[in-house]
Structure 1
Amino acid sequence: MEQKLEGNDENIKERILGIALFGRDANYATGDDPVVRVQAKEVRRRLEAYRSDLPNDVEVLIDLPTGSYVPAFSLRESSPLNPLHDYAGIHPLVDVPDTHAATPGGRPVFDDEQTTPSEKPGGLNGNSGSSFVGHGGLSPLITTLVLVLVAALSIGFLAWMHSRNPYDGALRKFWGPILESPKPAVISLGRTIAYAPNESLYGEFRKSHPNAYRDRLDEYLDVLSFDKDATIHWSDLRPLVNIGPAFGGVRAGMRISSLMTGMRKPFVVRFGSESSFVELRDSPAIIVGSMNTRWTNSLEGGLHFAIHDLSSDQYVEEARSKRTWRAGPTSQGWVDYGLITREVVAPTGQFLVKFAGVGDAGTEAAGELLTNADLLSSAVKRLPRDWEHKNVQLLVEFNVIDGKAGPPKLVDTYVW
């Protein structure tokens, strides 16, 4: 805001903001680090919320246009400071107009030239409905009042933004221990192994289906569909060890990364065996997905709720009662379950959050719950008053329609 008021629009760039406001290095890659874009989106959301409930005495509006980080100012149409507020259909431009008007033909009109009011495209006699341009632009008094109001509104708006910090409340309580740690957070995502056809298998398929593919790209993107009685040998397949987690896990990891960025918490991302017990023993961790690594799975031992992910069956089980919750079809789509475990001091000796779904959509939905202030606030209402100082497990249910999970329903909790 200060740079805009001083006329330094060229200083309001993504890289400069990242360095000045978020402590990034001078050569940091803006394409890989979205901190400025994420915060700009949040500012636009708060501005929209602020404008939806404006006090009557607010005269100046602030906007942050999409695709830009330069704030724009405009007078409220009902403002008595708006010289055109009494003229229907006339709206002021955001910027203060040039001090020289122009003739209808485009030639500038200087102060020593004589023009009649009807010749002036701006002002009260002009036909242009886009700006208030008199012979000398806005009067110095009005310009001064506008700038004073902009400065006052800017201070008030920043104070309002601070008072409505989206990372306060339930989010701050849930993630508090990870934010207080001096170590960067470790976000650990699973890395599964899959198998793909070898070139020899594609060759056999092309012989029996000569017009199935136009080129190699089709082979890569389309499903290879042999006849149901075709025989495939183990030698026809090759392992893929770097395909990463499923879509739900990826999206959940992106949400957690965005949250950590918004909270200004440094973090690293690890896939599968890239994260070691030694690293998690030294840093707070967030484990995404149930099938991560053998030793991260072992961290669930002895917990009240646990996900059992077998080749033929996946379900959540309560240890004492042996009650189970399974994903399955419904009249409208599919029901899935997510399990969230938060340990203030885990077996690693550090703060640990692990969340996963019985299905892929459950993992994504659990990640959304943990990063959405409203959803998380609603979920923790059933917890005891001092829950933020305790270990917590949340079992939530999601209805999945067309592959997308709906709002979470809290099924059960356990606090110790």
Structure 2
Amino acid sequence: MGTGNWLNSGRQGSARTAEAELPAKPSPDVVIEHLRKILDSAAFRGSKRSQAFLSYVVRSALEGRAATLKERTLAVEIFGRSEDADLAEDTIVRVGAREVRRRLAQYYASAESAGDTVHIDLPPGSYTPEFRNVAPREESPPACPTRATRLRSRPLVLGLAAALAVAGAWVVLIRGGALRQGDAFWEPFLASPEPVLLAVAHPLVYHPSARASRLNAERNPAARGLLQQPIQVPAELLDGSDLIPVVDQYVGYGDLVAAVQLASYFAPLGKPPRIRLASRLEFADLKESPVILIGAYTNRWTIELTKDLRFRFWRTPDGRAAIEDSQPPATAWALPANRQDGLTEEDYVLLTRLVNSTTGRPLVLVAGLKHFGTEAGAGFLVNPELRAQVLSRLPSDWSRRNLQVVLRARVYGNSPARPEVLRWHCW
């Protein structure tokens, strides 16, 4: 990396001359000492994952193991992935490297780096760090503007202030007041320097076997075309081997709509989220950023992280999906019936907001018993007027507490109606 990318252009020539007199590379002991300072800086101390990433690659390079710094090695050694992990789908190493580069840039732009004589780079497209000696950066006091300069700049400052005011008013109007009381609900997410992580449910889907598809084509001429057709084969001709489980390739429609609604809410506020299948996330991933869990029985982390809460997912003795109130008197809200076509006339939704969950980060759950409820619940969360139905009833310090809400939504065809609040719990 050229010094012109980060040195003040007015001092560029003299800085290059100074660096030319320095040794080409710092000693390993000096690099390790500099690494410790970086890891303890404001830019890094809030992210254990970035600390582990930078520490591993720096120490590996200093110990002569730079050739081993490949994506799969880092996935296994730093993030605990298996040797056969699909790294085309799981981008945790690439995301981690980008985050480390961002934090390094933040550190070297801060006052904490003043006086440093060593610089650590992680070049784009590489996981091998580079070390170099640099001249200590001098802090120059800003020049005091003359009265004429101040007068000339005043219209520009006023213009910028007016533009910012208009932009701020526009956001408030667009959000219908979301940036006032409503966003107190999302404040822990908006205040985090890390991007919000949307962990989407991963339903298990069964494909017909090649044999079942052949039998279907023999009996149903329409199945020989390009458009997918249902299997219409007598049951006695099929067995369990004709149902092939397919994992991590499908998302429920309501879950998809929920993810789009939430992403559309956060993006204009400068927090575009990352979207991942929950099945591809380890617990360590959940500890690195605020998380929104989407979906219930098909989301591994929803079931795990809510099992000890007051409201939790359950199944009735006859196998129907339900939300249970674990406090006496026992109450459960269950689907009316188990229909084979997957449809229902009503759905129930569990919303959960944990300010400091077991992950150590803020967590929100939106999950219906079916995907209809999940879609309705996400619409509730991004609509300040709907949220006010609950928030207006809560204690004044509710924003610092945990919250659970149970909703009911009527379903017409494949579309959920606006949900109604059944019960809430704030602690």
Task: Indicate whether the TM-score tops 0.5.
Answer: yes
Instruction: Name the aligned partner's letter for residue 242 of structure 1.
Output: D
- Corresponding residue of 1:208: 219
Matched, 1:283 2:285: no
Query: Residues 244 and 271 of structure 1 are in contact (CA less than 8 Å); yes or no, is this contact kept in structure 2?
Result: no
Matched, 1:399 2:407: no
- Corresponding residue of 1:384: 395
Partner SS, residue 395 of structure 2: coil
Distance (Å, rounded) in 2 between the aligned partners of 1:160 and 1:283: 29
Distance (Å, rounded) in 2 between the aligned partners of 1:180 and 1:156: 21
Cα shift readout 1:169-216 (whole Å, capped 9, x = no counterpart): 34311110011111111110111221111222121122233x33351x
- Note closer, same or farther for the CA distance 1:203–1:355 as it changes in structure 2 (3 Å cut): same
- Corresponding residue of 2:327: 320
Distance (Å, rounded) in 2 between the aligned partners of 1:395 and 1:296: 15
Query: Residues 341 and 394 of structure 1 are in contact (CA less than 8 Å); yes or no, is this contact kept in structure 2?
Result: yes
Distance (Å, rounded) in 2 between the aligned partners of 1:258 and 1:281: 24
The 5 A counterparts of 1:236-315 are: 236-309=242-315, 312-315=319-322
Query: Residues 349 and 377 of structure 2 are in contact (CA less than 8 Å); yes or no, is this contact kept in structure 1?
Result: yes
Give the TM-score of the pair, scaled to structure 1: 0.57
Distance (Å, rounded) in 2 between the aligned partners of 1:252 and 1:309: 24
The 5 A counterparts of 1:8-407 are: 158=167, 160-161=169-170, 164=173, 166=175, 167-209=178-220, 211-213=221-223, 215=225, 217-218=226-227, 220=228, 222-227=229-234, 229-309=235-315, 312-321=319-328, 322-328=330-336, 334-407=345-418
Distance (Å, rounded) in 2 between the aligned partners of 1:274 and 1:208: 39
Instruction: Name the aligned partner's letter for residue 294 of structure 2.
Output: V
Distance (Å, rounded) in 2 between the aligned partners of 1:319 and 1:233: 40
Partner SS, residue 348 of structure 1: coil
Partner SS, residue 212 of structure 1: helix
Instruction: Name the aligned partner's letter for residue 170 of structure 2.
Output: M
Cα shift readout 1:269-304 (whole Å, capped 9, x = no counterpart): 110322111011121100001124444421113211
Partner SS, residue 273 of structure 1: helix
Instruction: Name the aligned partner's letter for residue 278 of structure 1.
Output: A
Query: Residues 204 and 298 of structure 2 are in contact (CA less than 8 Å); yes or no, is this contact kept in structure 1?
Result: no
- Note closer, same or farther for the CA distance 1:292–1:178 as it changes in structure 2 (3 Å cut): farther
Q: Larger helix proportion, structure 1 or 2?
A: 2
Distance (Å, rounded) in 1 between the aligned partners of 2:315 and 2:365: 15
Cα shift readout 1:318-374 (whole Å, capped 9, x = no counterpart): 001220111227xxx712111100000001111000110112211110011011222
Partner SS, residue 264 of structure 2: helix
Say which one has the larger Rg: 1
Q: CA shift at 1:155, angstroms?
A: 9.3
Partner SS, residue 213 of structure 1: helix
Distance (Å, rounded) in 1 between the aligned partners of 2:257 and 2:309: 26
- Corresponding residue of 2:99: none
- Corresponding residue of 1:80: none
Q: CA shift at 1:306, angstroms?
A: 0.7
Distance (Å, rounded) in 1 between the aligned partners of 2:368 and 2:240: 31
- Note closer, same or farther for the CA distance 1:414–1:313 as it changes in structure 2 (3 Å cut): same
Query: Residues 288 and 361 of structure 2 are in contact (CA less than 8 Å); yes or no, is this contact kept in structure 1?
Result: yes
Distance (Å, rounded) in 1 between the aligned partners of 2:299 and 2:165: 50
- Note closer, same or farther for the CA distance 1:299–1:157 as it changes in structure 2 (3 Å cut): closer
Query: Residues 289 and 363 of structure 1 are in contact (CA less than 8 Å); yes or no, is this contact kept in structure 2?
Result: yes
Distance (Å, rounded) in 2 between the aligned partners of 1:391 and 1:323: 21
Distance (Å, rounded) in 2 between the aligned partners of 1:318 and 1:248: 24
Query: Residues 249 and 289 of structure 1 are in contact (CA less than 8 Å); yes or no, is this contact kept in structure 2?
Result: yes
- Corresponding residue of 1:104: none
- Note closer, same or farther for the CA distance 1:308–1:245 as it changes in structure 2 (3 Å cut): farther
Q: CA shift at 1:157, angstroms?
A: 5.9
Distance (Å, rounded) in 1 between the aligned partners of 2:168 and 2:381: 26
Distance (Å, rounded) in 2 between the aligned partners of 1:176 and 1:156: 21
Cα shift readout 1:1-55 (whole Å, capped 9, x = no counterpart): xxxxxxxxxxxxxxxxxxxxxxxxxxxxxxxxxxxxxxxxxxxxxxxxxxxxxxx
Q: CA shift at 1:163, angstroms?
A: 5.2
Query: Residues 169 and 377 of structure 1 are in contact (CA less than 8 Å); yes or no, is this contact kept in structure 2?
Result: no
Equivalenced residue count is 257
Instruction: Name the aligned partner's letter for residue 334 of structure 2.
Output: R
| RMSD between aligned residues | 2.5
